Chains A and B, each alone.
Chain A
Amino acid sequence: MCALCGSLGGDEDWTDAVAREGVFTRNDDPARRRRERARRVEVASRVLKLYGLRLSDWQGAAFLLATFTGKSEIVGDLSHLWAAAERLTGATCDPLDPDVLARLDADD
Chain B
Amino acid sequence: MIEEAPAFTPVTLLTGFLGSGKTTLLRRLLGDPALHDTAVIINEFGEVALDHLLVERLDGETVLLGSGCLCCTVRGELAATMRDLHSRRERGAIPMFRRLVIESTGLADPFPVLSTLRADPVLRHHFRAAGVVTTVDAVNGLAQLDRHVESMRQAAMADVIALTKTDIAGDEAIMPLQARLGALNPQAPLFRIADGPLPVNALLAAGRSPFKAVGEPDGTIAHTKARAFSIVVEEPIDWSSFGVWLTMLLNRHGTRILRVKGLLALRGEARPVAVDGVQSLVHAPTHLERWPDGDRRSKLVFIVEDLDPELIRRSFAAFARLGRAGTAALASADGT
Q: Is A61 an interface residue (CB 8 A)?
A: no
CB distance from A62 to the nearest CB of B (A): 15
B286 and A4 form a contact (CB under 8 A) = no
B251 and A79 form a contact (CB under 8 A) = yes
Expressed in whole angstroms, the Cα–Cα distance for A108 and B283 within the complex equals 31
The residue of chain A having its C-beta at the shortest distance from the C-beta of B325 within the complex is A108
B71 and A43 form a contact (CB under 8 A) = no
Among B245, B282, B326, which residue has the most Cβ atoms of chain A within 10 A?
Answer: B326
Cross-interface CB contact of B286 among A8, A23, A80, A83, cutoff 8 Å: A23
Which residues on the A side are within 8 Å of B329 (C-beta)?
42
Which residues on the A side are within 8 Å of B275 (C-beta)?
14
Expressed in whole angstroms, the Cα–Cα distance for A22 and B308 within the complex equals 34
Cross-interface CB contact of A22 among B72, B282, B287, cutoff 8 Å: B287
Q: Is B164 an interface residue (CB 8 A)?
A: no
User: Which residues 1-41 of A sit at the B interface, judged by CB distance below 8 A?
Assistant: 2, 4-12, 14-15, 17-18, 22-26, 35-36, 38-40
The residue of chain A having its C-beta at the shortest distance from the C-beta of B74 within the complex is A7
Known: A9-B121, A22-B287, A39-B330. A95 touches B319 (CB 8 A): yes
CB distance from A33 to the nearest CB of B (A): 12
Q: How large is the interface on B (under 10, 10 to 19, 20 to 34, 35 or more residues)?
A: 35 or more
CB distance from A54 to the nearest CB of B (A): 14
Q: Is B161 an interface residue (CB 8 A)?
A: no
Q: Is B335 an interface residue (CB 8 A)?
A: no
Which residues on the B side are within 8 Å of A24 (C-beta)?
269, 273, 284-287
A17 and B311 form a contact (CB under 8 A) = no
Cross-interface CB contact of B69 among A5, A22, A78, A98, cutoff 8 Å: A5
Cross-interface CB contact of B321 among A6, A18, A95, A108, cutoff 8 Å: A108
B285 and A23 form a contact (CB under 8 A) = yes
A-B contact pairs, 19 of them (CB 8 A): A4-B67, A4-B69, A5-B72, A7-B119, A10-B72, A11-B71, A14-B275, A15-B243, A17-B285, A24-B284, A24-B286, A36-B239, A38-B330, A43-B238, A43-B240, A78-B244, A80-B69, A96-B252, A108-B321
Residues of B within 8 A of A (CB): 65-67, 69, 71-72, 118-119, 121, 124, 238-241, 243-245, 247-253, 269, 273, 275, 277, 280, 282-287, 307-308, 311-312, 314-315, 318-319, 321-323, 325-327, 329-330, 334
